Amino acid sequence: MLVRGPTDLSELRCKLPVPERLAGRWAAVRLEQPGVFDFVRATIEVVAWIPVDDRELTWKDVADVLGAEQQPTTVTMACDAVSALVPDQFDEMQVDGAHVEVRGPGYPAGAFEGQGFGAGRAVRIEGGLLVAVTTI
């Protein structure tokens, strides 16, 4: 369930460690926990879209901030957040329940972890970088 639609990434910096050189948009989703019908702490996934256009931000800049590009990988991210941020690319992605498989070269995502968020993953797709972190 989408709990925050696309919002400027600068507004997230007070809640999450977002490297200053990176700009874009983010959305947040409350992940459903099947079979849980009690007042428990909800798991939140934050997904960020960082456009890379080789003018204002290049892939070299991304590597300087996050670390070198890694091998191609497949990670899952919340469908509702990804579709809200990159609707054009979303149609080409494989949906698996409430998650979508995102494929492409990976990047270290540790720079986005902290302040209660972990399990970071970052993947290069056409036009930019998708980053996801989940509450821990």
Q: Look at residue 132 and tell me whether its pLDDT is greater than 70.
A: yes
Q: What is the dihedral of CA 74, 24, 1, 131, to 10 degrees?
A: 20
pTM above 0.85, yes or no: yes
DSSP β-bridge partners for residue 72: 105
Quick one: what percent of the chain has pLDDT higher than 90?
69
**Location of structure tokens 């091998």:** 71
Q: What is the DSSP letter of 42?
A: P
Work out the pLDDT band at 33, boundaries 50, 70, 90.
low
Q: Look at residue 37 and tell me whether its pLDDT is greater than 90.
A: no
C-alpha span between 121 and 124 (Å, rounded): 10
